[in-house]
Amino acid sequence: MPLIIISTLSCEDESVENNDIYISFEKPSNFPELTYDFSENEFTQQKFELGKRLFYDGKLSSDGSVSCGSCHNQSNAFTHHGHDISDGVNGVFGTRNTQPLQNLAFMKDFTWDGAIRHLDLQPIIPIESEVEMNETIDNVLLKLQNDVSYVTQFNESFEKKSFEPHIISLRTLTQSLSQFMNALVSANSRYDKYVRGEVMEIPYSEEEKEGLSIFNNKCAQCHSGDLFTDQTYRNNGLALSSKFPDELGRGRVTGEDLGGNAPDYYKFKVPSLRNIWVTFPYMHDGRLATIDDVLDHYDTGVQDTPNLDPILKQNEILGISLSNEDKRLLKFFLKSLTDNTFITDERFAED
């Protein structure tokens, strides 16, 4: 796919100027190919703004109290601050840690187990889940159709298809949410500036560089490339959960084997480590509170569970041996993945 640069700012367009937001979608030069097909859903300023309004609107939940943004907070790279597992309408808890939302236009599939194959399909799950927004899509569409300002905004953003009874449809709802989420590109950390050779006020330090090199030796087989994930599903040796004994991870998607031996049991998506400093707590169920806990896990905590990734059991030795100095340097590197521009970008904030 060619480099996509979609710039929708037009100086003559007053409505854009008044809103004081303009957005262009640009593929960072150190990123891999896009996975989202923009030819099916052209990226426009209007769709971005509509998607953002929907993302922050409690109307998408049954009692009006929960929006997408309630669980996906910008200052934490759109994850849920301080929650191990996320609570939705009526404070009901789910079983998984909220994922950050970033660089989704480059992801092949979504959620911790990859059950969702297209970004446009993702919003249906939280809206209809009783532990999240506890609403039905039909009701959401009705509520939006009864709001004149939404009808106007949808009409400005989309063309109605002949088979659709109303401009506000499942398609237009999800396609606009996707354009807000696609715009959430995070690629301006100190690490990015360093690898792109950009001038930095404070140059990438020796400690950051040494941390990067330890990372490349010990972690990058799974957290690979500039998205810091090879987008596969693996078991990194967490103890089986007594709190959520039914959690099968990727096994839920690829098939269950009642004997407990299905090849994908207890595997989870290798997460991106971008903005990792602000997305605590960690792992699919948020069981590890700090980066120190994570590094200790790899060093001494890896369990020999079914389907443990062979990389974490080489020569019959469990885990990845890390000295205190390794850990210290790794932390410098991991911190350099924080993109302050992204987590403070006003274009993504609730109005």
Contact between 137 and ligand HEC per CB under 6 A: no
> Could you tell me if 227 and 31 are in contact, meaning their C-beta atoms sit under 8 angstroms apart?
yes
Of the pair 17, 63, the CB lying nearest ligand HEC is at: 63
Contact between 284 and ligand HEC per CB under 6 A: yes
Contact between 128 and ligand HEC per CB under 6 A: no
Q: Which of 96, 190, 250, 335 binds ligand HEC (CB under 6 A)?
A: 96
Angle of CA points 33, 34, 40, to nearest 5°: 140
Q: Which of 23, 71, 77, 337 binds ligand HEC (CB under 6 A)?
A: 71
Contact between 167 and ligand HEC per CB under 6 A: no
Contact between 309 and ligand HEC per CB under 6 A: yes
Q: How far apart are CA 2 and CA 26, in angstroms?
A: 11
User: What does residue 317 show for φ and ψ, rounded to 5 degrees?
Assistant: -100, 125
Q: Which of 132, 135, 208, 247 binds ligand HEC (CB under 6 A)?
A: 132
Of the pair 146, 216, the CB lying nearest ligand HEC is at: 216
> Could you tell me if 87 and 132 are in contact, meaning their C-beta atoms sit under 8 angstroms apart?
no
Tokens 């792109």, residue located: 196
Contact between 308 and ligand HEC per CB under 6 A: no
Sign of the alpha-carbon torsion through 46, 129, 289, 333: negative
Q: Which residues contact 314 (CB under 8 A, 6 or more apart)?
A: none
Neighbours of 189 (CB within 10 A): 20
Of the pair 27, 287, the CB lying nearest ligand HEC is at: 287
> Could you tell me if 144 and 156 are in contact, meaning their C-beta atoms sit under 8 angstroms apart?
no
What does the binding site for ligand HEC look like in residue numbers (CB under 6 A)? 60, 66, 68, 70-72, 86, 88, 94, 96, 98-99, 101, 104, 107, 110-112, 122-123, 126-127, 132-133, 177, 181, 218-219, 221-223, 234, 236, 238, 268, 270-271, 273, 276, 279, 282-284, 294, 298, 309, 311-312, 320, 330
